[in-house]
Amino acid sequence: MGKYNLGVDLGGTDIKVGVVKENGEEYTIIARGEAKTQVSKGSGAGIPANKDADIIVSNIVKACNEAIESAGITWDEIETVGVGSPGAINRADGIVVFAGNLNLNNFPLANEIEKKIGKKVFLCNDADAAVVGEFVAGEAKGKTNAVCVTLGTGVGGGIIIGGKLYSGSNLIGGEVGHMVIQYNGIKCNCGRKGCFERYASASAIIEKTKEAMKKNRDSLMWEIAGTIGKVDGKTAFKAMKQGDEVAKEVVDEYIKYVACGLMNIIAIFQPEVLCIGGGMSNEDEKYLLEPINEIINNEQFAHKALKDENVKIIPCKVVIAKHKNDAGRIGASCLHKYV
């Protein structure tokens, strides 16, 4: 019959829950639940840390209940709950050490959820959950070394080395979204300037789209979005596909920044596969993955070495995560095996 675990993908904008049925090596989402995260924008001055914690916990429980009801099962049939959260996470103690996009600081998220549902809760970084999902049932299955980069409200990174989830000596390694790709660039919620996520996240392309629209009132992006307030990560892509040159400039710049960050990650870890997950992974491969790979294939050392038939180097394969934005939910449901 298999068994059921809940996988929670906690994002800066949305909370997505899946009831995952595990049957041997097969993992299937049989029902889903969603809720808005509803947090303050960033952790800027005047906003106390953990201000939004109660709302986040309540909305996670709400989404979990929705998923269970949709599955036609009860809490008694759920074995464990796993949560993938943005930010620096202490997996061992179930604590969100710091998550700027969620306005949380040293918050015992796992314990607070456990109080509400009476089930064991496991916690990890959201990109760690995504790479676990791809490792057990996706593009990284059967691999020894793999990386998953999630392009969502922020940018996260999950790393598998030697078949094990890597978290560094202080349990918060893998924060690739906060490596600087533009010195003294745009200020990030983490306090640094020029972080990868300020240029390659869905939030980043939304900001750039709005800037371009304000400067170009005749852009097709106005017709697609309707108003500035309804711009999303797909707006520029949609307009570009219809021949809008302003939108193409926005997308081209975005692609270059994404490729730059991914190339840095490949240069450091040289994984067998690098999976792109998160909300932006739903974009057509022709317009996202293919241009990214064109840049990476021109710059990746392994590809250059292949020109010499005497050099035996296998380049990293960059792909869209098999489970796309569901990878985090599947991985989170498996955290009882990895945390």
Could you tell me which of 29, 3, 41 has the C-alpha nearest to residue 325?
Answer: 29
Residue 231: the pLDDT is 98
Q: What is the mean pLDDT of residues 20-30?
A: 91
For 123, phi then psi, to 5°, come to -130, 140
Q: What is the mean pLDDT of residues 7-31?
A: 93
Largest CA distance in the chain: 61
Could you tell me which of 125, 133, 218, 205 has the C-alpha nearest to residue 173?
Answer: 125
Q: In this structure, are residues 10 and 83 in contact, taking their beta carbons and an 8 Å threshold?
A: yes
Residue 49: the pLDDT is 64
| Residue 309 in this model has a pLDDT that exceeds 90 | no
| Residue 81 in this model has a pLDDT that exceeds 80 | yes
| Residue 166 in this model has a pLDDT that exceeds 80 | yes
Going from the C-alpha of 198 to that of each of 181, 184, 253, 254, 277, the distances in angstroms are 9, 12, 13, 10, 17
Q: Which domains does the chain have, with CATH numbers?
A: 3-138+325-337 (3.30.420.40), 146-320 (3.30.420.40)
In angstroms, the CA 132 to CA 137 distance is 8
Pairing of strands 273-277, 146-151: parallel
In 102-256 the beta strands, taken as DSSP E runs, fall at: 104-107, 121-125, 146-151, 155-161, 164-165
Residue 43: the pLDDT is 47
Q: Which residues pair with 318 in a beta bridge?
A: 274
Residue 327: the pLDDT is 94
Residue type at 173 in one-letter notation = G
| Radius of gyration, CA atoms only, the chain | 20
Least confident of 16-30, 203-217, 227-241: 16-30
Residue 339: the pLDDT is 73
pLDDT tens-place string over residues 41-71: 554 444 556 778 999 999 999 999 999 999 9
Residue 48: the pLDDT is 59
In angstroms, the CA 262 to CA 260 distance is 6
pLDDT tens-place string over residues 113-147: 999 999 999 999 999 999 999 999 999 999 999 99
Residue 220: the pLDDT is 98
- Identify the band that residue 238 occupies on the pLDDT scale cut at 50, 70 and 90: very high
Q: Which residues pair with 319 in a beta bridge?
A: 275
- Residue 234: CB atoms within 10 A of its CB come to 18
pLDDT tens-place string over residues 94-109: 999 988 788 899 999 9
Name the 3-class secondary structure at 90. strand
